[in-house]
């Protein structure tokens, strides 16, 4: 059985995870194109692939090209790639933006490429400073199965499903105009979940608890809550005054938090109202 080949454009946090998962699945990396970073060169060496820092030096004959670049760069990169003399009719091109459909890849589709979107519904930390080769940060890989929000033409969807499966993930078809809301759901589950945790730590610090103790206490309850959600379901795991419909306690909480962190009080009230309206 012929091995699948891929080419990575953009060896950042997302690109590294996808490339390594594909390589573990038996795919062959035909090359890595980046901005000349040490991390990008290190990844290419790890995968046994050539590294280039210019689109004009890309050599790729058949397989799947992964555009792991920022959302604002997808259209620009696609347009620049489309001028290359590559056998596009034998290449699938996938970008990994959560908000974009396949339309920014139209210049490549016109050249004959199969195009699609293949966004990993997962968190990818942005580590500060220089990431050392072989460190936990360098080797970061999500612990849980990844879901991919995919879109594209018929052949592009086939290519996206193939990548998702090789990465050990599942595919969720999310078309055009729905992709912004889909991506917002990811933010609710990730960034804004983190905001709630950060606000809880801040409130504890402002009532005199040390930052270290506040951090440990809040993460402990948050982690246990997520485990309960996973094991017992959200409806059975919710606790607290909003779940009980205890409006008096919710009002008292909101008032107390408002004195310490007015913005957090607004969030607390809105989320409590949501819980009271949607609890079963």
| pLDDT at 145 (0 to 100) | 82
| pLDDT at 254 (0 to 100) | 98
| pLDDT at 223 (0 to 100) | 96
Task: Give the other-Cβ count within 10 Å of 145's Cβ.
Answer: 10
Q: Residue 227 CA to chain centroid, in angstroms?
A: 21
Q: How many helices (DSSP H) and strands (DSSP E) are in the chain?
A: 12, 8
Q: Provide the whole-model pTM.
A: 0.92
For 53, 58, 209, the CA distances from 22, given in Å and listed in that order, are 22, 19, 46
Taking 70 as the pLDDT cut, the residues of the chain under it are: 1-2, 128, 280
| pLDDT at 2 (0 to 100) | 67
| pLDDT at 25 (0 to 100) | 96
Q: Residue 101 CA to chain centroid, in angstroms?
A: 16
| pLDDT at 126 (0 to 100) | 80
Alpha carbon distance 187, 168 (integer Å): 22
| pLDDT at 143 (0 to 100) | 84
Task: Give the other-Cβ count within 10 Å of 274's Cβ.
Answer: 11
Who's near 162: CB < 8 A, 6+ residues apart? 4, 64
| pLDDT at 37 (0 to 100) | 87
Alpha carbon distance 120, 178 (integer Å): 16
Element (H, E) at 116: strand 114-121
Q: Is 92 left (phi over 0), alpha (psi -120 to 50) or beta?
A: beta
Query: Tens digits of per-residue pLDDT, 136-188?
Result: 888 899 988 889 999 999 999 999 999 999 999 999 999 989 999 999 999 99
DSSP letter (8 states) at residue 142: -
Q: Which domains does the chain have, with CATH numbers?
A: 5-176 (3.40.50.720), 191-278 (1.10.1040)
| pLDDT at 6 (0 to 100) | 98
């Amino acid at each position: 059985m012929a091995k699948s080949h891929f080419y990575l454009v953009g060896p950042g946090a997302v690109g590294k995870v996808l490339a390594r998962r594909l390589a573990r699945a038996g795919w062959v990396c035909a090359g890595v194109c980046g901005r000349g970073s040490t991390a990008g060169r290190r990844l290419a060496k790890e995968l046994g692939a050539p590294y280039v820092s210019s689109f004009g030096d890309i050599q790729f004959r058949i397989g799947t090209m992964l555009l792991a670049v920022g959302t604002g760069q997808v259209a620009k990169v696609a347009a620049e790639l489309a001028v290359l003399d590559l056998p596009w009719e034998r290449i699938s091109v996938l970008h990994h933006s959560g908000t974009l459909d396949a339309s920014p890849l139209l210049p490549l589709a016109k050249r004959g490429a199969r195009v699609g979107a293949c966004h990993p519904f997962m968190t990818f930390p942005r580590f500060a400073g220089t990431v050392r080769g072989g460190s936990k940060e360098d080797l970061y890989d999500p612990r849980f199965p990844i879901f991919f929000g995919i879109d594209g033409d018929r052949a592009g969807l086939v290519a996206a499903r193939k990548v998702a499966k090789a990465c050990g993930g599942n595919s969720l078809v999310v078309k055009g105009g729905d992709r912004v809301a889909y991506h917002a759901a990811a933010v609710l589950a990730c960034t804004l979940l983190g905001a709630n945790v950060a606000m809880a730590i801040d409130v504890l610090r402002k009532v005199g608890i040390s930052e270290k103790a506040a951090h440990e206490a809040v993460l402990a309850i948050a982690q246990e809550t997520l485990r309960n959600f996973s094991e017992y379901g959200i409806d059975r795991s919710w606790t607290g005054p909003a779940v009980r419909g205890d409006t008096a306690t919710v009002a008292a909480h909101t008032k107390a938090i408002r004195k310490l962190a007015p913005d957090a009080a607004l969030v607390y009230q809105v989320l409590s109202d949501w819980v009271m309206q949607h609890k079963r």
